[in-house]
Amino acid sequence: MLNNDVIGMAWADRISFEEIKKKTGLSEKEVIKVMRTNLKRKSYLLWRKRVRGRLTKHRKLFKSKFSN
């Protein structure tokens, strides 16, 4: 899979890291590494700020919040 595809999925708010893993085989850490090496520093930092703690990017957090 091309890095551009991984970057596109990582930027998309509705695609979780678990879905990216299913489609590409890349773990969350590996996706972060791809983003770090292929984005400008400022773009990478903005992306990390957006993704950190975002429920829709972390399917487990999303399910636990709404399963009550």
Q: Which residue has the tokens 């509705």?
A: 14
pLDDT at 24: 95
How far is it, in rounded angstroms, from Cα 2 to Cα 61?
28
**Tokens coding 63:** 């399910």
pLDDT at 67: 55
Pick out the chain residues at pLDDT < 70.
1, 58-68
Burial class (CB in 10 A: 0-12, 13-18, 19+), 24: middle
Residue 44: which domain range? 3-66
Question: What is the reported pTM?
Answer: 0.77
pLDDT at 7: 95
DSSP 15: S
Question: Nearest Cα to 17, choosing from 43, 42, 35?
Answer: 35
When divided into structural domains, the chain yields a total of 1
